[in-house]
Amino acid sequence: EHEGEGGEEYLFKIVLIGDSAVGKSNLLSRFARNEFDSNSKATIGVEFQTQVVDIDGKEIKAQIWDTAGQERFRAVTSAYYRGAVGVLIVYDITRRTSFDSVKRWLDELTTHCDTTVARMLVGNKYDLENIREVSAEEGKSLAEEEGLFFMETSALDCTNVQTAFEVVIREIYNNLS
Ligand code: GDP
Ligand code: MG
């Protein structure tokens, strides 16, 4: 186990946002517990899950917050965003409307967080590529416009899930120094 000279503890709050049913809860359960739920309903009771990640020999606790379904009512509160240093903005590549909502989510993020928050745009459900409505190029160019990292993921078959979270965690870590 490697610790910094002062035995620093790193705890990063990361929030998941995006329209209902894009796969936020499943991305988190895939990342934190390697589980997938094909009939997941709104998360009840669990506010966040903590996952320990090793970055350059430093032990980092990523505290990842999931909504309890309140995004359906556009009622994600400021408490949810408070103290966040990273965010994954998720859309569903098979549902154009969820991609159109990304701008609104970015506006909300700007209202609640400062500009230094590490931001990743995630196009989820890559396993359903055959019925996609949003091309990878569109995702990539929106990300470039807005200065976000970008990745397509599948919580179902694990594609890029670990990587998406780790890129954000590494960016937060790099921004510390
Ligand atoms: P949330 O409302 O954003 O938290 O979305 P959920 O995680 O509850 O997922 C909504 C639905 O999409 C559920 O039926 C999931 O099983 C399904 N789902 C989530 N991620 C994926 C994925 O990567 N691929 C596929 N095919 N389905 C997914
Ligand atoms: Mg959910």
Q: What is the ipTM of this complex?
A: 0.99
Ligand 1 midpoint to CA 117 (Å): 25
Residue with the smallest CA separation from ligand 1 atom 18 is: 23
Residues with CB under 6 A from ligand 1: 20-26, 37-40, 124-125, 127-128, 154-156
Res 95: pLDDT: 98
Q: Give me the half-sphere count of Cα atoms (radius 13 Å) on the Cβ side of residue 73.
A: 8
The whole-model pTM stands at: 0.94
Q: What is the DSSP letter of 154?
A: -
One-letter amino acid of 17: I
Average pLDDT of adjacent 10-residue blocks, the chain of 177 residues: 62 96 95 86 69 93 91 84 97 98 96 94 98 98 98 98 97 91
* Alpha carbon 66 to its chain's center: 9
Reference 14, options 28, 4, 34; nearest CA is 28
